[in-house]
Amino acid sequence: MAFLLLLADIESKSWVKQLKIHEPQLDLRLWPNTGPVEEIDFVLAWRPPPGELARYPKLRCIASLGAGVDHLLRDPDLPAAVPVTRVVDASMAQSMSEYVVMAVLNWCRHMPRYARQQQERRWQVHVPRQASSTGVGIMGLGQLGGAAARHLVALGFDVAGWSTGPKQIAGVRSYIGEAQLGAFLGRTDILVCLLPLTERTRGILDARLFAGVRPGAYLINCARGEHLQEADLLAALDSGQLAGACLDVFVTEPLPPEHPFWRHPSITVTPHTASLTHPRAVVPRLIENYRRVMAGLAPLDQIDRLRGY
């Protein structure tokens, strides 16, 4: 009846605190100090080493610490019969929406230019891009993309979304699948990636995609670094087909100091901060799932392994 906290590269302290608050009797183990592997029933994981989760023969649920599960599904030895859950939390949608709205407004209102002008003590006005005539295209209209879309509609932007199936969001034009990708890109001034990372979406932000958006478009990637072909972005910025990018996620995190993105004048870098998982917000649901599994019930918020999210 033990609960394993398996966090490869994040601090466990506030997770332990919240888990103890919500389930004082919890038999909590902190990886790698697992005790006997056959005692582990439930694991809360972030970026486990490949093969690690196959070591627990009695495992009944694998809970992803984030909204994404790519860090679990990339493991070829992930136990096939164990349900996988992800975090579905309104505070993550809120946090992601704030980031997207902020990045969109900073671009429309020329804040990168004004930051450079401030360093040069130069006073020069640039006419803002008007929300109503700025096409924002959101790739991925799930919980996070849908919330961001609603906030941008409320601010008057001309919002469209691209997804695998049709989505009904007031004021948002929905484009579906490969067949409608060209039409979606052709009306996009600001491209926002909020897709799940799957084998189909890996590297999707590439030269072909950038060639389809309106000239001088802006890219916002707050999904996963692996969505982006980094060399293709640099080439599109060089050619002017893209005018800039705001990136929160990278193939290698932390972004290495020698990486060209840090010093590129048209790229804004943030350290994977668009949507943090707050222990206080998500632990109650995790404990609910732990109790369900212990009682023989199926956990909530399961992902579809075939779909990949």
Q: How far is the CB of 226 from its own copies (least distance, A)?
A: 18
Q: Is 148 in the site for its own copies (CB under 8 A)?
A: no
Contact between 249 and its own copies (CB under 8 A)? Answer: no
Report if residue 169 touches its own copies, rule: CB under 8 A: no
From the list 19, 44, 220, 255, which residue makes contact with its own copies (rule: CB under 8 A)? 255
For residue 35, give the 3-state DSSP assignment: coil
Applying CB under 8 A, among 37, 182, 239, 273 the residue interacting with its own copies is: 273
Q: Is 224 a catalytic residue?
A: yes
Interface with its own copies, residue 171, by CB under 8 A: no
**CA 224/CA 144 separation, integer angstroms:** 13
Looking at 187-248, list the stretches that DSSP marks H as alpha helix, in order from N- to C-terminal side.
207-212, 230-239
**d(C-alpha 300, C-alpha 286), whole Å:** 9
Asked if 239 is part of the footprint of its own copies (rule: CB under 8 A), the reply reads no
Tokens read off for 71: 């860090």
Q: What is the distance between the alpha carbons of residues 92 and 66, in angstroms, rounded to a whole number?
A: 9
Q: How far is the CB of 122 from its own copies (least distance, A)?
A: 8
Q: Which residues touch 181 (CB under 8 Å, ≥6 apart)?
A: 162, 175, 209, 212
Catalytic residue among 29, 86, 224, 285: 224
Contacts of 33 (CB under 8 A, 6+ apart): none
Q: What is the DSSP string of 95-148?
A: HHHHHHHHHHHHHHTTHHHHHHHHHTT-----PPPPGGG-EEEEE--SHHHHHH
- Which is the catalytic residue, given 129, 272, 278, 292? 272
* Binding positions for its own copies, 58-117, rule CB under 8 A: 91, 94-95, 97-99, 101-102, 105-106, 108-111, 114-115, 117
User: Where along the sequence are the contacts to its own copies (CB under 8 A)?
Assistant: 91, 94-95, 97-99, 101-102, 105-106, 108-111, 114-115, 117-118, 121, 123-128, 130-131, 151, 154-156, 253-255, 257, 259, 262-263, 268-273, 276
Active site residues: 224, 272
